[in-house]
Each structure stands twice: as C-alpha cells, then as structure tokens.
Amino acid sequence: MWQIRVVIPAYAIDIFVFCFGLIIGSFLNVCIVRIPESKSIVMPASACPKCATSIRPYDNIPVISWLILRGKCRACGAPISPMYPAVEMLTALLFFGCYQTFGLTTNALKWATFSALIIVLVFTDFRERILPDVVNYTGFVLGLAFALAIAPNDGTANWIARRAFATPLPTPVVSLGDAFLGAAVGSSLLWLVGEAYFRLRGREGMGLGDVKMMLMVGAFLGLKRTLLTILAGSLLGSVLGMLFILARKKESNYELPFGSFLGMAAVLVVFFGTSVVNWYQSMLMGR
Ligand SMILES: [Zn+2]
C-alpha cells in the first residue's frame, strides 16, 4: 500500500492560524460598527465614513494597511480609528492562543468562536453601551451546539446525574446539562444583582443586555467558570471602572460598560479559569 504523507512544518500552521485570526478580526470590525446601527454586515463593501470613497482591497489588508496609511483615509485624509488594527491584532492573538492551548481540535474552534463573539460584545458595549441581541442569542445557540460535540469538563451536571439517575446518562446530555446550568445560573444571578441595584438606587444599573450576554457565556463555560467570570468581571469593573472615571473626570453615576468587563473576564477564564477552579476545589478538599 502506498501511503502519502504530507508534512506541514509547525510554523506554517502558526502563521496560518494567526492570519486567519487577522481576517476574522477584520470581519468583527464590520460587526462592531454595523450591528448597533442595524446595518447589514455583508453589504455594501467598506467605505470611508467621512468621504464615502469605497476602500480598495489593497487598502483593506488587516493591520498592515492601517500602518501604511498611518491611520488616515487615502482619499480625504480623515483619521481611521486605531480600533480597527487593535481588533484585528486582538483576534489574531486570541486565535493563536486557542490553537497553542487546545491544539488543532474542536475545542480550539469552540474557544476561538467564543473569543470572536466576546470581542464584538466588549467593543459594542464600550462604544455604544449595546450588547446586541443577535450576538447574545447566536452565541447561546452556538454554545449549546458545541456542548453536544465536546465532552463536558465542568462536572456539575455529572455530579447531579449520578445522584438522580441509576444509569449513567449519555455524554452529550450531561454536556448540554452543564451548558444549561451555566446559562440559567449566570443570567439569573446578573438579573438579581440588577434588580437589587434598581430597588436600592431607584435607577437602572444594569441592562437586560448583560443578563442575555450571560446566557451565552454560561452555555460556553458551564457553571463553575461562569461564576468565576462574574466574580472576575465585577473585580475588573471596580478597578478599571474607578480608573476610567478618574481618567475621564466623569461623574460617579457615569454608566460603566459592565458587559465589556464581563467579556474581558470571560476570555481570561477561558485560558486560566480551569486552573483557578481546580486550585479552589483542592483548597476546599484540603480543609
Ligand atoms: Zn475618506
């Protein structure tokens, strides 16, 4: 038997994953700008918001074009936001991180998808205080779909199933259980916090957007890492929020983009959350 073996050098895959991230990042920029304006993310092609000149393909290369043009439109010289290369670079780095951490696996695809969704939410919330429903709900459905394909690692659904049922449940059912648990507890917890804040302060402190965002985050992360995300997001929000208010000299009732902080926390939890959860559990066991 003949066997054909194609050897791909490791750095070729590294470069491919990174460039793929840059291209997806370029598409995420379109989502970030157009979804809050209820515009199509497919048509028309990108144009300068100032002079409406459509952007040529060679001026649309991720990161590189922005650097060559020194952040200005080629036609009219209007400044182009540094957000564009930043989002492209961030997406590429996160995709590369997913590949390095999880290998060329379905799991890496799951976390790269999650990172992409989170990037859109972090930036739309920061710019417009909007966490678009279409992103939250699409993310929730994708989270459930990935749960069916990937074995669970949260352990909570398995723990409940072992006590509730005499025979072991099929893996996809347990996995889906973890996704639903994460989504239900994560979103209810945020809803409760928002409701308590409203009762105490008499004004809206958190929108329903954050609650819906946690449906998606919970479906991807499962119960334990969802709780960790809320904890880390609140800490990040307190620290960065204070700095933000001080730097901008805004009033203390300035509305903070809590969804942005939750999103940053969720991405940190993807890469470091499992170690934190394991450490915490071993602490509990050790007592
Ligand atoms: Zn222009």
How far apart are the CA of 122 and the centre of ligand 1, in A? 27
State the average pLDDT for the chain. 90
C-alpha 234/C-alpha 213 separation (Å) is 15
- Is it the case that residue 202 has pLDDT exceeding 80? no
How far apart are the CA of 79 and the centre of ligand 1, in A? 8
The domain ranges of the chain are 1-104, 130-287
How far apart are the CA of 52 and the centre of ligand 1, in A? 6
Give Rg (Cα) of the chain: 21
How far apart are the CA of 68 and the centre of ligand 1, in A? 15
How far apart are the CA of 87 and the centre of ligand 1, in A? 21
For range 196-220, the mean pLDDT:
85
How far apart are the CA of 248 and the centre of ligand 1, in A? 29
How far apart are the CA of 58 and the centre of ligand 1, in A? 15
How far apart are the CA of 125 and the centre of ligand 1, in A? 26
Which tens digits make up the pLDDT trace of 133-188?
999 999 999 999 999 999 878 889 988 988 998 888 888 999 999 999 999 999 99
First-to-last C-alpha distance (Å) of the chain: 60
pLDDT value, residue 198: 78
- Is it the case that residue 102 has pLDDT exceeding 90? yes
For range 209-229, the mean pLDDT:
96
For the record, the structure tokens of 163 come out as 């006590």
How far apart are the CA of 66 and the centre of ligand 1, in A? 13
| DSSP H or E stretch at residue 59 | none
- Is it the case that residue 15 has pLDDT exceeding 90? yes
For range 230-236, the mean pLDDT:
93
pLDDT value, residue 252: 58
Percent of residues, the chain, with pLDDT higher than 70: 96
Specify burial of residue 258 (Cβ count, 10 A radius: 0-12, 13-18, 19+).
Answer: buried
How far apart are the CA of 210 and the centre of ligand 1, in A? 35
- Taking the whole predicted model, whether its pTM rises above 0.75 is answered as yes
How far apart are the CA of 80 and the centre of ligand 1, in A? 9
How far apart are the CA of 51 and the centre of ligand 1, in A? 4
- Is it the case that residue 115 has pLDDT exceeding 90? yes
* b (16+ CB within 10 A) / e for 93-107: ebbbbbbeebeeeeb
Say which residue, 268 or 237, is predicted with more confidence. Answer: 268
How far apart are the CA of 25 and the centre of ligand 1, in A? 22
How far apart are the CA of 37 and the centre of ligand 1, in A? 20
